[in-house]
Amino acid sequence: TGPAGGTIFYVDLTRAAGSQYFEAACAGWYDGTCGGNDLNDPTLAWGNSPLAISGADGTAIGTGEQNTADIVAGCSETGIAAKVVDALVLGGQRDWFLPSKDELNVLSDFTFYHPEDWYWSSSETVQSHAWNQYRRYDMSEGFKYYLTGVRPIRSF
């Protein structure tokens, strides 16, 4: 269990201090608390379709935080995945972000909590698409206006 009450899903002690551990938000995160009556993750749009975001194209582990910042800065829409995650305060932590493609792929080994089981990454592919993943089996490009599952992560 991580400091914010979520699951530590990745550890790399060769990374810089403060970014060696990756924690996924707990089930029920959407209301700012762990648990509760609704354990399903929300389904939200990635946003800014059909326009490209400057940046937001990192796919490697460690790029999700910058991708999320790029999306928040470059998209005027409200209620989209990156902005909801960026505004989250959970377990006393305010540093949540949408996982990059590779971060999501590692995270996908854990149980997800919404009926469709597709989840957004913060990695844009082309102006109208971003990477999403179905459980641990299938990574694909989805239209950014699709309503797709969201699970925040943080590194520390």
pLDDT value, residue 31: 92
pLDDT at 108 over 80: no
Helix and strand tally (H, E) in the chain? 3, 8
The pTM score is 0.93
**What's the Cα-to-Cα distance from 137 to each of 44, 49, 107, 133, rounded to whole Å?**
21, 25, 12, 7
pLDDT value, residue 113: 59
pLDDT at 115 over 70: no
For residues 130-134, give the mean pLDDT. 93
- The b/e string for 16-49 (b: 16+ C-beta within 10 A; e otherwise) is eeeeebbbbbbbbbbeeebeeeeeebbbbbbbbb
Token pair for 51: 């326009």
pLDDT value, residue 40: 86
Question: What rounded mean pLDDT belongs to the chain?
Answer: 92
pLDDT at 114 over 70: no
pLDDT value, residue 116: 62
- SS3 for 90? strand
pLDDT at 136 over 80: no
- SS3 for 101? helix
- Cα separation, 145 vs 156, whole angstroms: 31
CA dihedral over 99, 100, 104, 106, signed as positive or negative: negative
Q: Which residue has the higher pLDDT, 109 or 66?
A: 66
Q: What DSSP character marks residue 29?
A: G
The pLDDT tens digits of the residues spanning 67-90 come to 999 999 999 999 999 999 999 999
Percentage of the chain beyond pLDDT 70 is 94
pLDDT at 24 over 90: yes
pLDDT at 2 over 90: yes
Phi-psi region of 155 (alpha: psi -120 to 50; beta: other; left: phi over 0): beta
